Amino acid sequence: MEIQTFCDYFSLHQEHSQHQTICDLEITTDVNGQVVNKRRVPKNIDLGNGSSVRIFSDGTRTSFSGNPSRAGRLENFSGVSLDAGKTIANQIMSDNGLPEFTKGAKFTQIDITANLAAGKHLRTYLRALQCHAFGRLETTIDNGNVYFGKYSRHRQGRFYDKGKELREKHVPQHKGDAKNYLIQLADWCDTNGVVRNELKFLRALERLNVRDWESATHEKLEQMFNKEIKPMTKLEVIALDDVPMPYRATLALYMAGADLSEAMHPQTLKLHKRELKKTRLQHQR
């Protein structure tokens, strides 16, 4: 299965020689009027249609964060490669009179994303994800979103119904032709059962040797993404009838996002987890 990926977001910083900054200086004083703190305020750069990126400079250190592929777009259904995003980010920095990023720049976050077509099996696929492990990352279910390592500082994964997300998050923000376009896109996602997957690389960038400006290429990140995600596209779906009757309620609570440690006695929870694993459901809570 070939998975087409793009970069949905990144953040990075770099130390430069002294230069002119465009960021406003914010001064904090105490009740006596004495200065207690000075800091430069990051600047939001409007990309159109309600989207923006954030740039910063204190005169030596610069930073950039955001999704550069959102320029002029109503949504983030598709995007550009990490390599193209780096070029866009440098153009934005240059347009605002700030130094471009070079080999000394360090990434602190890179999000690689893909849209997977599950067709009529979208709900079944998401339910299957809820019952499978993603390495050692903890599974969390929130409003239909399936998170792996939601609070991890190293890497995080997220799967969700893209059509549903468009209707809830993007459609209400627009009117007229823009709103109609987003509704049509959401309808298309529903028809094709589009599942959005986002893999967020954080501290793992250092371990994977893709934190530096030159070493962080889309080809490398895509290979890592595919290594993680491809096994998730071939999940074995366990039918509810295969789950022994005493444990079906536990499974239903888990898939609804309930905290089982609060709903059940520790010994009962331990027993149910052991029995559910016998049906190959890799229950983690």
Residues in the chain, overall count? 285
3-state SS of the chain is: CCCCEEEEEEEEEEECCCCCCCCCEEEEECCCCCEEEEEECCEEEEEECCEEEEEEECCCEEEEEECHHHCCCCCCCCCECHHHHHHHHHHHHHHCCCCCCCCCCEEEEEEEEEEEECHHHHHHHHHHHHCCCECCECEEEECCEEEECCCCCCEEEEEEEHHHHHHHHHHHHCCHHHHHHHHHHHHHHHHHCEEEEEEEECCHHHHCCCCECCCCCHHHHHHHHHHHHHHHHHCCCCCHHHCCHHHHHHHHHHHCCCCHHHHCCHHHHHHHHHHHHCCCCCCCC
What region does 209 belong to: left with phi over 0, alpha with psi -120 to 50, or beta?
left
pTM of structure: 0.80
pLDDT tens over the chain, length 285 residues: 457 899 999 999 999 989 999 999 899 988 888 888 889 999 999 987 778 999 999 999 999 999 988 877 778 888 899 999 999 999 999 999 999 999 999 999 999 999 988 888 888 888 778 777 777 788 888 887 889 889 999 999 999 999 999 999 989 988 999 899 999 999 999 999 999 999 999 999 999 999 999 999 999 999 999 888 876 666 544 455 556 666 556 665 555 555 666 666 777 777 766 666 655 444 444
Structure-block tokens of residue 38: 């000075």
Contact 178, 75 (CB under 8 A): no
Residue type at 12?
L
Residue type at 267?
Q
